[in-house]
Amino acid sequence: MALSDLSADELTRLESELSSEYDSLADRGLSLDLTRGKPSPEQLDLSERLLALPGEGDHTAGKTDVRNYGGGAGLPELRGIIAELLGVDAGRVIAQDNASLSIMYDLLTFSMLFGTPDSERPWKDEPKLRWLCPVPGYDRHFGITEALGIEMIPVAMGEGGPDMDEVEHLVATDPSIKGMWCVPIYSNPTGTVYSDHTVSRLARMAAAAPDFRVIWDNAYVVHTLTEDFPKVPDVDSLAAEAGHPNRFLQVCSTSKITFAGAGVSFLSASEANLDWYLGHTGIRSIGPNKVNQLAHARFFGDADGVRDHMQKHREIVAPKFEAAAAALGRRLGGYDVATWTSPEGGYFIDLEVPDGTATETVRLAKAVGVALTPAGSAYPYGQDPDDRHIRLAPTLPPLAEVEEAMDVVGLCALLAACRDARK
Ligand code: PMP
């Protein structure tokens, strides 16, 4: 029966049952962690062979000796594989070092210091800088814009992506809005896949700022939880057709394909954007780690090699998502108090609890040994105005721990909702 349909007596009884069950959890001495979207050791083991690659004596790719300086754009062998996965021309992808987050940080700091190819002046010299942030979204994106003093404007996420009426209106009318964060496939944390319609509107919309940019973070482009892979839109071509050839800056990495701390990151963009980016990176480095790039090229072989590898990840990760959904369903299903996403890929579940109870749910869980990301962390400045969203990351712990932790989360969410309803 829905929580809202319970009589005052029934609500009191339910709360006291849940409270005593909750109190008994303290004796179990749990220490479970659903905070960060990290691959599990078992997933990392899938790439163990990479540690022996490229191997002694294997250091030449084409005419390049990967041990030496140079090759700022990265190895064509690996760029070709990623370009195929992104559905773009190989010449439109460059390979860098281990973190796409570093590329994103570069993109914004270079824009701040020097301006983009379409800027009238460095962004730091603009009177005001603003940035659109679909919410809930990725906390580390918001960390970059916050650190650079760019004012963040939240835009609500819907089924097929951000609220495009709002985005189009803001971008067309406010020249201080210089860009937008987007995770178009299996978004962090909602798992949303942007619809074709949303993508087309993003590519075509008018922008008041001539140097408006979309950072198109395709971190989960091949991270399916099903047998199928998502369709990857060629945003550069769509935007170029609409007269905005430099709008999209697409990034991705192998962090959650091979090793989270020792993968390869990629930038895909127009020729002008890539030239601009490499012009600046060429000052700060004499080239990326091409040994690791060659190791990855050898490890994957081709784009199908990546797809096969991702299916092995799926075999490990999908049961954890299923177990998480089942545990939440058992606890919360009958009460009509919470909803949670059932993503077809990516690393997260977004749990929506009654307004004003997310912080309390996280506090209750922490007190009995289940660590969750702080409520609000999926919002700019850590502020969820409704105190409603909790990001759950089920990949890192073993399956049995995911089940146990999710059960506790469900219990805590229901207890917090009960107490709130009785206020
Ligand atoms: N983008 C998104 C949306 C992510 O969720 C993550 C990892 N949690 C990253 C980027 C980080 O990627 P990288 O390891 O390549 O820096």
Q: 0.95 exceeded by the pTM?
A: yes
Evaluate if residue 366 carries a pLDDT over 90: yes
- Ligand 1 atom nearest to CA at 138: 3
For residues 354 and 384, membership in a common domain is answered with yes
Domain boundary residue, one of 301, 329, 362: 301
- Ligand 1 atom nearest to CA at 183: 3
Q: Would you say residue 242 lies in a domain? A: yes
| Chain mean position to CA 64 | 33
Interface pTM, i.e. ipTM: 0.99
For residues 125 and 221, membership in a common domain is answered with yes
What average pLDDT does the segment 14-32 reach?
A: 95
Task: State the distance from the centre of ligand 1 to the C-alpha of 12, rounded, in angstroms.
Answer: 44
- Residue 283 contacts by C-beta under 8 Å, 6 or more apart in sequence? none
The CATH number of whichever domain residue 71 belongs to comes to 3.40.640.10
Q: Would you say residue 338 lies in a domain? A: yes
As a three-state string, the secondary structure of 151-173 is EEEEEEEECCEECHHHHHHHHHH
State which of 253, 296, 396 you would mutate to test the pocket of ligand 1, scoring each by most atoms of that ligand within 8 A of its C-beta.
Answer: 253
For residues 82 and 104, membership in a common domain is answered with yes
Residues forming a β-bridge with 134? 155
CB of 100 sitting under 6 A from ligand 1:
yes
Token pair recorded at residue 119: 């800027």
Q: Would you say residue 404 lies in a domain? A: yes
What average pLDDT does the segment 334-346 reach?
A: 96
Domain boundary residue, one of 278, 301, 324: 301
- Residue 378 contacts by C-beta under 8 Å, 6 or more apart in sequence? 135, 136, 137, 138, 139, 189, 350, 384, 389, 391
Domain of residue 277 covers 62-301
Of the candidates 231, 233, 237, 232, which has an alpha carbon nearest to the alpha carbon of residue 270? 237
Domain boundary residue, one of 249, 284, 301: 301
Q: What CA–CA distance (Å, rounded) separates 16 from 240?
A: 61
Evaluate if residue 377 carries a pLDDT over 90: yes
Other beta carbons less than 10 A from residue 291's beta carbon: 15
Other beta carbons less than 10 A from residue 122's beta carbon: 14
How far are the Cα atoms of 75, 179, 197 from residue 136, in angstroms, in the given order? 36, 17, 20
Q: What is the pLDDT of residues 100-141, one digit of tens each?
A: 999 999 999 999 999 999 999 999 999 999 999 999 999 999
DSSP 228: S
- Ligand 1 atom nearest to CA at 253: 15
CB of 270 sitting under 6 A from ligand 1:
no
For residues 139 and 185, membership in a common domain is answered with yes
For residues 314 and 208, membership in a common domain is answered with no
Taking all residues of the chain, what is their mean pLDDT, rounded to a whole number?
97
Number of domains in the chain: 2
Evaluate if residue 271 carries a pLDDT over 90: yes
Task: State the distance from the centre of ligand 1 to the C-alpha of 106, rounded, in angstroms.
Answer: 15
Q: Give the residue whose CA is nearest to atom 1 of ligand 1.
A: 219
For residues 88 and 118, membership in a common domain is answered with yes
Q: What is the pLDDT of residue 423?
A: 83
Q: Would you say residue 56 lies in a domain? A: no
For residues 161 and 275, membership in a common domain is answered with yes
Evaluate if residue 1 carries a pLDDT over 90: no
- Contact in structure between 374 and 382 (CB atoms under 8 Å): yes
Task: State the distance from the centre of ligand 1 to the C-alpha of 62, rounded, in angstroms.
Answer: 30
Q: What is the pLDDT of residues 54-77, one digit of tens each?
A: 999 999 999 999 999 999 999 999
For residues 260 and 246, membership in a common domain is answered with yes
Question: Helices marked H in 191-301 — which ranges?
Answer: 196-204, 235-241, 271-284, 290-300
- Residue 352 contacts by C-beta under 8 Å, 6 or more apart in sequence? 338, 339, 340, 388, 389, 390
Q: What is the pLDDT of residues 154-166, one digit of tens each?
A: 999 999 999 999 9
Q: Would you say residue 52 lies in a domain? A: no
Task: State the distance from the centre of ligand 1 to the C-alpha of 219, rounded, in angstroms.
Answer: 6
For residues 215 and 102, membership in a common domain is answered with yes
Q: What is the pLDDT of residue 422?
A: 86
Q: Would you say residue 25 lies in a domain? A: yes
The CATH number of whichever domain residue 318 belongs to comes to 3.90.1150.10
Q: Would you say residue 236 lies in a domain? A: yes
For residues 237 and 294, membership in a common domain is answered with yes
What average pLDDT does the segment 266-274 reach?
A: 98
Task: Report the run of H or E that residue 130 belongs to, with start and end.
Answer: strand 130-135
- Cβ-count burial of 319 within 10 angstroms (0-12 exposed, 13-18 middle, 19+ buried)? middle
210 pLDDT tier (thresholds 50, 70, 90): very high
CB of 188 sitting under 6 A from ligand 1:
yes
User: Over pLDDT 90: what percentage of the chain?
Assistant: 98
CB of 106 sitting under 6 A from ligand 1:
no
- Cβ-count burial of 7 within 10 angstroms (0-12 exposed, 13-18 middle, 19+ buried)? exposed
For residues 370 and 257, membership in a common domain is answered with no
What average pLDDT does the segment 377-394 reach?
A: 97
Q: Would you say residue 129 lies in a domain? A: yes
Helix, strand, coil shares, percent, the chain, to 5 = 45, 15, 40
For residues 18 and 159, membership in a common domain is answered with no
Q: What CA–CA distance (Å, rounded) separates 279 from 31?
A: 48
Task: State the distance from the centre of ligand 1 to the C-alpha of 253, rounded, in angstroms.
Answer: 8
